[in-house]
Structure 1
Amino acid sequence: MRVRRSLSLLLGLALWAGQGAAVECRDESYQGNRYSLCEVDASRENLRLFLRDDTGAVMGHFSTIEDRLAAQNKTLAFATNAGMYHTDRSPVGLYVEDGNEEMRLVTNPGPGNFGLVPNGVFCLREGRADVIETLAFEASTPSCTSATQSGPMLVIDGELHPRFLKDSDSRYIRNGVGTSADGRRVVFAISRNTVNFHDFASLFRDHLDLPQALYFDGNISRLHAPDLNRSDAGFMMGPVVGVVEDVAEDDAGTLQN
């Protein structure tokens, strides 16, 4: 079983490394649970955070972000919600977008999943993306061009969050992100059935072989993945992370992705 999983992981990595698209999304099952996974090479692709438009209004929908990008001759290749927010859609924890900080780092334990420390920060830098535990982030003060804080951490240096219980009956749709040690491989996951934290964290550590992973949110989780013919709609979201591509113009003068 272990050998088969390793071979599957190696095949997946080979396909991921050799593929030319900005992001590769696929549906996959692991230990009886179903997931949608989207993998990004942060050294090559344009990973960005989105919250407000130029007027300061929260965009809140994938379609709104797409419309804004279309005006710039760009397209949204993939996106998902990226961190917890208040009722006005403002971020609960640290939020930096294109160098502008909207909310400071929150280091104290607190209520809810965000306060189930250790929590962490998803940090975008030139050529890489990293999940960093909050206190380690505070100590190292990395220069993130964009960053979003959420919680709890799912995987910390190869270990599952110490508060997760294997037999927990707290099951929800969940989404999150994991990163490789070199900051190049970034995997976003959303469950397609309800899962507990232990199962969701195990996906990142044991199936995807990622040493750091961060929880984004639960039932509000949504995914925009054209590869899967999926773009979830609904009420407004807060922070969103996505991959942006240029729209190319072919010889006939028609626009194509």
Structure 2
Amino acid sequence: MNEDPSMWLDWAKILAPIIAALVAGGFALRVSNRNVRTISENADRTIAAAEANADKSIAAAAENVARSVKASAEGTDKTITAAEDRERRNWVRAQTVEAAAAILAAATELDIRVDRAVKALTWRAESWGSPKRGVLTSRHRHEKSPSEFFMEVEDALADLNRAIDLFQFVADEQPCSAAEMFRLTYNHIMVQIRFLTQFADGNVEGVRLPDNASPSAAEAAHSSRDVVQTHTRKARHEREVLLHHVRTALGLAPIRLDAIVVSIPVGTRIQ
């Protein structure tokens, strides 16, 4: 059977739009898929960038917090250190003043005992040149023995040495040096007190005096007494020098150094 060409034309007219639509749809679908991929890639990049920025922001914030915490801790440490330094300085200051006052009190008591011993021991030494050698008069009959006077001075010197040791534990270098000179002077005094004790017993240079040599005890005693008096004056001046260095080390007004004696009652704090 012969087919009519017009029928094919009609079919072509019907199929042409359908085919065109299919082709267009396929192209559009392809373009759409490409756009979707592009959008997805852009979204991924945006998300990655956002995450990176978020990480950077978090890291920066954490670093800022860490710096703040560190700065705060350092500030706290400095505050604590400053407070501890102030407390330590105040403690050293108080201990230095108290120890210096203890030295002065011990030195004052030692001066009293030295003076008493020198007078009694010199008189005892002089008595060896009298008709009643070495015999106390009724006025001195109840006086202590020479060794008792010596031990009194020795005990007072031990108290002074302990006070100086404590002072040197807390004080600065210059006051410590002044205290050591103070100690040395009183050690010289103690040597003379030891001699006076021997002379009061009628003994010169460790040898008991014979009757015909008894006046030598008095002469030797007078010599030792003069040495004690000289060193006592020196010690009084060194006491003032010690106070001067203590006040200077503590940032206080220096005292005058031209006086011979600086008297501070027992228990008085250095202002």
Q: TM-score range by the shorter chain?
A: under 0.3
Q: Which is higher, the Rg of structure 1 or of structure 2? A: 2
Question: Could you say which structure has the higher helix fraction?
Answer: 2
Greater per-residue strand proportion? 1
TM-score w.r.t. the length of structure 2 is 0.20
Give me the TM-score of the superposition, normalised by structure 1.
Answer: 0.20
Which protein, 1 or 2, shows the higher relative CO under an 8 Å CA cutoff with sep ≥ 6? 1
